[in-house]
Amino acid sequence: MKKECIDCGGELNIPDDAVVGEIVSCPDCGGDFEISSTSNGSMDLKRAESVGEDWGE
């Protein structure tokens, strides 16, 4: 399945067996997106949360 990148408009290739919660990356801008829902052969994306390393602080 192909979907348009939220950030740059590039083309994301999403595997047909992708599930909610899976992370996909844009090959053009490097943005990470989480599959937020699937219905009727369509998938909705949202920006993946970025968790930084706190190094035990």
6: left (phi over 0), alpha (psi -120 to 50) or beta: alpha
**pTM exceeding the 0.85 threshold for the entire prediction:** no
Question: Residue 6 falls within a domain, yes or no?
Answer: yes
27: containing domain: 2-47
pLDDT of res. 32: 93
pLDDT of res. 53: 66
Question: Residue 38 falls within a domain, yes or no?
Answer: yes
List Cβ neighbours of 10 (8 Å cut-off, separation of 6 or more). 4, 26, 27, 28, 29
Question: Residue 54 falls within a domain, yes or no?
Answer: no
Question: Residue 56 falls within a domain, yes or no?
Answer: no
pLDDT of res. 54: 65
pLDDT of res. 49: 82
Question: Residue 19 falls within a domain, yes or no?
Answer: yes
Asked whether the beta carbons of 35 and 14 are under 8 A apart, the reply is yes
CATH of the domain at 9: 2.20.28
Task: Count the domains in the chain.
Answer: 1
**pLDDT, mean of each 10-residue run, the chain (57 residues):** 90 88 93 86 84 66
